[in-house]
Amino acid sequence: MKAVIIGNTQFSSLLLQYVSDAGIDVAAFAADREYIEEGTIDALPVVPIDELPARFDTGEYKLIMGIGYKKLGETRKVIFERCKEYGYDFINYIHPSAVVDRSVLTGEGNIIFENVTIQKRTVMGDGNILFSNCALMHDNVVGNFVTFGAGSVSNGSVHIGDCCFIGSNATLRDRITIKDHILIGAGTYVERDCEAGTAVLPGVRNYIRDGAARMESGL
């Protein structure tokens, strides 16, 4: 299988190692031209995204989503949608050590790292990233462009919206709803529903509005 990795960051470079080990032949990285500072990454060319259709046939090449969690996944969403308009399909990468129940339903462009567990009847959309050792227990419903930090746990029957960030070792209790654009800090225990745009941090009893604004500057 031939592919291009979308993104030109350290995360994109990390993905190259994983997908190459899986037998995927990566031809290049791609990014918006205003963000291209180096012409190569790991000896592969970095090409402007708007040149992809002219250089990499949609019938021959697939894409790998290598953009991290900047702006709670909104950047990932915008570029994913643009590439879909070009006619590309995205690969789901699942590390061989991950345990994904056969009943799980996923969209495309998801990245699932080592030792992730996804239990039965879980449904997941597009462009999500699940870092090492996180767990989605039974009957979760996960939207699009959500990032689960290493060691995070979403217990049974949790509903998670779009463009959320669940920090490392955070825990979501069962049967709660996490709406869109939620930032949950590392190590936080979330015990109740979260309204859209809030941030939940360790040791803070009241949920903070404008959680997405906290992610504007990086990541």
How is the beta sheet containing 117-118 ordered, strand by strand?
A: 99-100, 117-118, 135-136, 153-154, 171-172, 189-190
The answer to whether residues 77 and 113 belong to one domain is: no
User: What is the model's pLDDT at position 203?
Assistant: 75
Number of domains in the chain: 2
pLDDT at 205 over 80: no
The structure tokens listed for 120 are: 């039965």
The CATH number of residue 47's host domain is 3.40.50.20
> In sequence order, what are the residues at sequence separation of 6 or more whose Cβ sits closer than 8 angstroms to the Cβ of residue 193?
176, 177, 178, 179
Residue 101 maps to a domain: yes
Residue 35 maps to a domain: yes
The answer to whether residues 210 and 104 belong to one domain is: yes
Structural domain ending residue among the three candidates 64, 86, 108: 86
Domain that holds residue 70: 2-86
The answer to whether residues 139 and 203 belong to one domain is: yes
The answer to whether residues 68 and 108 belong to one domain is: no
The answer to whether residues 108 and 187 belong to one domain is: yes
What does the alpha-carbon distance between residue 43 and residue 62 come to, in Å, rounded to a whole number?
A: 20
What does the alpha-carbon distance between residue 131 and residue 153 come to, in Å, rounded to a whole number?
A: 11
For the chain, give me the number of helices (H) and strands (E)?
Answer: 3, 23
What is the per-residue pLDDT across 99-148, written as a single tens digit (0 to 9) for each? 999 999 999 999 999 999 999 999 999 999 999 999 999 999 999 999 99
What does the alpha-carbon distance between residue 191 and residue 89 come to, in Å, rounded to a whole number?
A: 37
The answer to whether residues 82 and 116 belong to one domain is: no
pLDDT at 176 over 50: yes
Cβ atoms 127, 77 nearer than 8 A: yes
How is the beta sheet containing 147-148 ordered, strand by strand?
A: 93-94, 111-112, 129-130, 147-148, 165-166, 183-184, 199-200
What is the per-residue pLDDT across 134-157, written as a single tens digit (0 to 9) for each? 999 999 999 999 999 999 999 999
The CATH number of residue 103's host domain is 2.160.10.10
- Residue 202: pLDDT band (50, 70, 90) is confident
The answer to whether residues 97 and 70 belong to one domain is: no
Mean pLDDT of the chain: 94
User: What is the model's pLDDT at position 218?
Assistant: 39
